[in-house]
Amino acid sequence: MKQKYKVRIGCGAGFSGDRLEPAVILAEKGDLDYLVLECLAERTIALAQKRKATDPTQGYDPLLERRIESLLPLLKKNKIRLITNMGAANPVAAADKIIGIAKKMGISIKVAAVTGDDVLVHIRGDEIAMETGNPISWSGQLVSANAYLGADAILPALQTGADIIITGRVADPSLFVAPLVHAFGWSLDDADMIAKGTVIGHLMECAGQITGGYFADPITKPVENMSTLGHPFADVYPDGRAMIGKIDGTGGTITLATAKEQLLYEVTNPYQYMTPDVSADFTTVYLEQNGKDRIAVTGGGGSKKPSTLKVSIGYKAGFTGEGEITYAGANALERARLAGETIQQRLNTQFPGLRVDYIGHTSVHPHSLANNYKPYEVRLRVTGKAATADEAAIIGQEVEALYTNGPAGGGGVRKYLNEIIGIVSILIDRNKTTSSVIVKSYEHQTL
Amino acid sequence: MSTKLYNIAHSRAGDKGNTLILSLIPYDEKNYELLCKLVTVDKVKEHFKEIIHGPIVRYELPNISALQFVCQQALAGGVTTSLVMDTHGKTLSYALLEMCIELPGG
């Protein structure tokens, strides 16, 4: 294969619920070689497994159809290859769905689904959870077990020449490392190059988080045109250097500050950022502003990939019930407190872990930071766990009953009921997973 | 002179299970050494004593003039099963920025 001088990868989505149009703008105007959509959070896949269990043709990302419909003609026209983990719990069904969409739109397409992350059949239950130190079966009924696959699992899919590569659970940076390895012929054992690719992937994977979106603060970090926030692309060179930018005319900003925030995001050890591909050292990465909305990324190195893979285990953790009510005006906080204490007295025995929050006062930050602050409005929130949905619903009902039973002036009650899927993690020997690629094609016949 | 970290630095919070990760990045790279000196692990531990119940590790990244605090047992059990409002601890970046420090030279 002819080695490329430069590869341009865009990231059009940074989580399952992300906006649709930034990816379309990237595909339309970005002059991309690859477009990545990262749509799979830790718990998303367990919820998708539940959908697959009730219908074997489901279990992929709920927004797959809308995203693919908006992108397919542009991918084809501009010869962009799409790499996405929207397959969630069912990459093969997702591939079938994409073929169906292509047929409807009259576009020839080749889709490669990557499977092998689902390792539930290998799980015995006595594996020790990293979070609790106890056997995973103690947590509850297990519903899913997905290993984080790496670039080595995505690479064979790229080698099929498919237009769209759809995966389930893979490490987010691997979605970017795989096309770089494919384009530049890097060795998967070249830890320094794979680490450089991983740094680029990590900077890109949250899309709008590096283009000023989640960064913005109107007082200290003002960002222009947030409503048309652009998503990033990276120009990557064969030696692992990269330039991160965004499409001219889109909102947002890319600066040293936005890049630094993203480089450190969710990193528990900057000396050893572990993925299935490498252990990357972020302490040798250098960032430099290189014109408006352009950041040059250099440096970065790594050491050998781990012999184990992380597996996310989903388990049934019962239900939560929740109720909210607002108090405003004179002594709003005192009345909210009286309401909270009233509910606690009524429910404490039935719901031992019952939690009472005062939204607008101390619901997210510690009490010590809210000293002497007298809010004009307070929203009382009461939440607790139960084994059944019926029991959990009692919490919302009790909050609603504050309407007539007081205290005075409560309004705007909302009740919520949710099933909880908990997540614990284990490590498994990477040789225990076998990934494979399933190719589906549609050839459009013109009459 | 006393000032909130908010006035000289920015931060983003991240989560991994029950671990909270907070970056601290000075707007002016000249203030990196000052933050290294003043925003110690003990200071962060005291500031978050109601929230962080495990050990805190501080990483220094002179390559990008930033600090990273990795705080264990900080998210009420972790995103998936906790009853707290902000299960990811995403708002806690701004809790860190509420910390007051004494700037040298009065």
Q: Kindly list the domain boundaries of chain B, sorted by start residue.
A: 2-80+87-102
What is the token pair recorded at A257? 């500050």
Which residues 109-168 in chain A show a CB within 8 A of chain B? 130-131
CA dihedral A19, A20, A21, A27 (to 10 degrees): 130
Q: Which amino acid is at A236?
A: V
Nearest CB neighbour to B63, from listed A214, A267, A284: A284
Average pLDDT over residues A417-437: 93
What is the token pair recorded at A203? 């900077």
Nearest CB neighbour to B70, from listed A268, A383, A385: A268
**Of A1-15, A122-136, A414-428, the least confident:** A1-15
Judge: domain A313-425, CATH 3.30.70.1120: yes
Instruction: Give the whole-angstrom CA distance, residue A9 versus residue A33.
Output: 6
Average pLDDT score over chain B: 94
- Three-state DSSP at B44 gives helix
Q: What are phi and psi of A178, to 5 degrees?
A: -60, -50
**Which H or E element spans position A332?**
helix A332-347
Which architecture does CATH list for B2-80+87-102? 2-Layer Sandwich (3.30)
Nearest CB neighbour to B66, from listed A264, A355, A425: A264
A3 confidence band (pLDDT: 50, 70, 90): low
Q: Give B11's contacts in chain A (Cβ within 8 Å).
A: 261
Q: In this predicted structure, what is the pLDDT of residue A447?
A: 66
User: Is the CB of A379 inside 8 Å of chain B's CB atoms?
Assistant: no
Beta-bridge partner residues of A380: A325, A358
Instruction: Please check whether residue A233 is in contact with residue A239, taking contact to mean a CB–CB distance below 8 angstroms.
Output: no
pLDDT in tens, B28-52: 999 999 999 999 999 999 999 999 9
Closest to A143 in 3D by CA, of A317, A284, A274, A332: A317
What is the token pair recorded at A124? 């015995």
Beta-bridge partner residues of B70: B21, B57
pLDDT in tens, A288-302: 999 999 999 999 999
Position of tokens 């690859």?
A34
Instruction: Please check whether residue A112 is in contact with residue A164, taking contact to mean a CB–CB distance below 8 angstroms.
Output: yes
**Which H or E element spans position A263?**
helix A256-264
Beta-bridge partner residues of B67: B24, B60
Q: In this predicted structure, what is the pLDDT of residue B12?
A: 98
Q: Locate the domains of chain A by residue range.
A: 7-118+147-306+432-442, 313-425
Q: Which residues of B touch A (CB under 8 A)?
A: 6-7, 10-12, 14-19, 21, 23, 25, 27, 48-51, 59, 61, 63-66, 68, 70, 78-81, 83-86, 91-92, 94-95, 98
Q: What value does the CA radius of gyration of chain A take, rounded to a whole number of Å?
A: 24
**Which H or E element spans position B70?**
strand B66-71
Closest to A15 in 3D by CA, of B42, B90, B106, B54: B90
Residue of B nearest to A362 (CA): B85
Q: In this predicted structure, what is the pLDDT of residue A368?
A: 87
Q: Residue A410, Cβ neighbours under 10 Å: how many?
A: 24
Instruction: Give the whole-angstrom CA distance, residue A298 versus residue B3.
Output: 34
Q: In this predicted structure, what is the pLDDT of residue A392?
A: 98
Average pLDDT over residues A332-345: 98
Average pLDDT over residues A406-414: 96
Position of tokens 């766990």?
A385
Instruction: Please check whether residue A389 is in contact with residue A419, taking contact to mean a CB–CB distance below 8 angstroms.
Output: yes
Sequential DSSP letters for A56-122: TT--S-TTHHHHHHHHHHHHHHTT-EEEE-TTTT-HHHHHHHHHHHHHHHT--EEEEEEE--B-GGG
Q: In this predicted structure, what is the pLDDT of residue A122?
A: 93
pLDDT at A418 over 80: yes
Average pLDDT score over chain A: 96
pLDDT in tens, A81-120: 999 999 999 999 999 999 999 999 999 999 999 999 999 9
Which residues neighbour A251 within 8 Å (Cβ) at sequence distance 6 or greater?
Answer: A212, A223, A224, A225, A226, A227, A228, A229, A230
Does A326 or A47 have the greater pLDDT score? A326
Instruction: Give the whole-angstrom CA distance, residue A268 versus residue A282.
Output: 11
Backbone CA torsion sign across A295, A200, A227, A67: positive
Position of tokens 């309401």?
A339
Q: What value does the CA radius of gyration of chain B take, rounded to a whole number of Å?
A: 14
User: Is the CB of A55 inside 8 Å of chain B's CB atoms?
Assistant: no
Q: In this predicted structure, what is the pLDDT of residue A134?
A: 92
Q: Give A364's contacts in chain B (Cβ within 8 Å).
A: 84-86, 91-92
Instruction: Give the whole-angstrom CA distance, residue A371 versus residue A390.
Output: 38
Q: With pLDDT > 90 as the criterion, what percentage of chain A qualifies? A: 92
Which residues neighbour A190 within 8 Å (Cβ) at sequence distance 6 or greater?
Answer: none
What's the gap between Cα A382 and its chain centre? 28
Which residues neighbour A390 within 8 Å (Cβ) at sequence distance 6 or greater?
Answer: none
pLDDT in tens, A264-273: 999 999 999 9
Average pLDDT over residues A359-367: 92
How many CA atoms are closer than 13 Å to the CA of B93, on its beta-carbon side? Answer: 25
What is the token pair recorded at B33? 């050494």
Q: What are phi and psi of B85, to 5 degrees?
A: -60, -55
Instruction: Please check whether residue A417 is in contact with residue A388, taking contact to mean a CB–CB distance below 8 angstroms.
Output: no
Average pLDDT over residues A150-163: 98
pLDDT in tens, A217-261: 999 999 999 999 999 999 999 999 999 999 999 999 999 999 999
B106 confidence band (pLDDT: 50, 70, 90): low
